[in-house]
Structure 1
């Protein structure tokens, strides 16, 4: 059956809500330290959903319970494309939530739970669309690799990272990778704008270790590890990184500048980003490098000066500017403090052009005529960092038409994470159109 054949019974969104709810109910919390239930249960569920419609799957683990799912589907025309999502989620404290974070409840027109926006919503869109197409015989002409990974929330070191090395044959001929955190809507000056991820900041999870002379807390200790560390942390945390517009953000702020009737420049970029309302929290962070102190550890008793103190810094640097970022970091750290990295991954950026980008734009506009589609640089990181090592161009495209009053970016890793039911259904319809175009 071709995509052009009318079929009133065909509905790519028919299962999206139920699949999303089922995935949320499977606790796949990733604490980042080896604890947690792992992704095995969710991975087996995903494999079953694909096998039910005739798509053969393979499960692969870097460690027991840290399970990845890979499948091949589609035709044989053109170069293969990777469609990927992750199955793990960050921790959630149930006492902080209005509804239990692993309930998958539907309330107020939304699906609630950890992973509702990061990123079991996209997993559900992809699965619902693929299952509908497989049942209807609407197989895309392009060969597709479907991949659902473990450990993305801890950098992918037990998921996409080793997976692309161990199973390189699955991915090495793919030219594009399409995954999470893109295609969601914001409203700027009354116009709905969909942001497609075309770039990601690099990630530097920094460990600072200060050393000094240990001893009794009542004596003089000019060589104090805690003092050395505190001074370094304060310098890093207070440093004002300059605004630098990457190619992707030049396109985005120019789009906003056109709506605001002004020319976009580095000088007014922050002001223009404020036009995005709550989303400015994330978009303002991609106009420069960022370094946020997040953890401190030192000592074991109040009257004992420790010989060592440690801190963690979440550093994110603009794509292509890693060397500049690290050089400034060394200057800020100063003496007595050693720098190491729990994870250091470069950023990525690709131009928003070509047939795949055109298909994304057209698919959104067919469902929401009059909207604007523009690329953006994401402040966080995804598994795309691992897949682009094989030469793929990567986009984030999990389309959601969102209400103006929903602080969507604040829900990532936040309390009361939720996604509108109609946004999920919209996303499945858009993604179905996308698969029909590629």
Structure 2
């Protein structure tokens, strides 16, 4: 029987920051294949790969389990210990990806491996582990383009939620804004047009123009200027400046309408806008059959089922859910979302063990119940 904590340690010890997922993919794929699953390791570039693992009949709206194998980078000089140590200290698994989301991947793999041999011809389960999720779900997009995936049933994403059930997540609109000015000598700025100040006015207008306070049930639009570049010399009026802006959008907000509002703010400053990423929000109603079953199982294991509104961060469900036409999407996994991408990232060991048990019970319920009872 696979120990999910030991598997999580092994996964953390594989550096998959911006690449290298193939080793992790083959580790998970080999374990699942030996357990009886049908496994395909899908190449996704040099050193990169996805995993598709199926049990049962996946031709008819299988349960979709979703996770990603990559992590963001880590600077060893800033960490107390090696970011890829996978050490266990005081009940916590430490290392890059412990929370986001190798603990969740380990729980999914262990649960499916434990249940795989019990499957015969019952309705199926498809586990999808992607490479390159951190770059705007690029890996999921590659997988959807390169493989014909079956129409899916409900989807469970094992991203960190502190073992709360999240009813989806916000969308993401990433923009590059470019201002073009006119050069002049720094001693005569009135003869030029300063691209940096024009872009700065636009950014401030964007933050203060109502977008960040647009409210909905799942929160408002948030604005983060992640990059800002411009100018070449201190004594030269800059004729070029650019900024990259990350907007997170609540469910129900049309990104095209939002882009129109942003363009209206950009117009007076003659700012050019380029869409770098447009990921849809994901939202599931709490009254659905999958939610009812899953929340019941969580209560059986944990005594209560904590439910939270859609998350601020996005997941592969933004790409996979529409591609597979999944009926409901829930997010539930070990680890604190606040630990993701942090120095000395960690995940509670008991979270990984609890998540594995919940996932096992879900798989057993999915296999044993009739189609109409859970879907």
Fold shared, TM-score > 0.5 on shorter chain: yes
CA distance 1:139–1:427, shift in 2 (3 Å):
farther
1:41-96 deviation digits (Å, cap 9, x = unpaired): 11121111112212232122343323111121135796312111100001111222
1:131 to 102, 113, 129: 113
Tell me if structure 1 keeps the 8 A contact 2:196–2:238: yes
Tell me if structure 1 keeps the 8 A contact 2:44–2:131: no
Residue 204 (structure 2) pairs with residue 231 (structure 1): no
CA distance in 2, matches of 1:310, 1:394: 39
Equivalent residue for 2:102? 120
Aligned length: 361
1:370-397 deviation digits (Å, cap 9, x = unpaired): x243242111111111112232134243
Tell me if structure 1 keeps the 8 A contact 2:167–2:331: no
TM-score by length of 2: 0.89
2:184 to 215, 224, 237: 215
Residue 316 (structure 2) pairs with residue 347 (structure 1): no
CA distance 1:130–1:337, shift in 2 (3 Å):
same
Shift of the alpha carbon at 1:243?
5.0
Tell me if structure 2 keeps the 8 A contact 1:213–1:307: yes
1:158-180 deviation digits (Å, cap 9, x = unpaired): x1112112212x23x21222113
Match of 1:378, SS state, is coil
Matches within 5 A, 1:19-418: 19-30=7-18, 37-75=19-57, 79-134=61-116, 137=118, 141-157=122-138, 159-168=139-148, 170-171=149-150, 173-181=151-159, 184-185=162-163, 194=164, 196-221=165-190, 222-240=192-210, 241-246=212-217, 249=218, 287-321=219-253, 322-333=255-266, 334-369=268-303, 371-390=304-323, 391-400=325-334, 408-418=336-346
Gaps of 5+ in 2: 367-375
1:296-347 deviation digits (Å, cap 9, x = unpaired): 1112222233321101111111122123422322233342211112111221
Gaps of 5+ in 1: 1-10, 31-36, 186-193, 250-286, 403-407
CA distance 1:330–1:378, shift in 2 (3 Å):
same
CA distance in 2, matches of 1:25, 1:314: 31
1:246-270 deviation digits (Å, cap 9, x = unpaired): 3xx4xxxxxxxxxxxxxxxxxxxxx
CA distance in 2, matches of 1:235, 1:435: 50
1:388-416 deviation digits (Å, cap 9, x = unpaired): 2232134243344x7xxxxx332111121
Tell me if structure 2 keeps the 8 A contact 1:384–1:394: no
Match of 1:147, SS state, is strand
CA-based RMSD: 2.2
CA distance in 2, matches of 1:98, 1:74: 45
CA distance 1:139–1:107, shift in 2 (3 Å):
farther
Equivalent residue for 2:365? 437
Match of 1:154, SS state, is coil
Match of 1:103, SS state, is coil
Match of 2:269, SS state, is coil
Equivalent residue for 2:3? 15
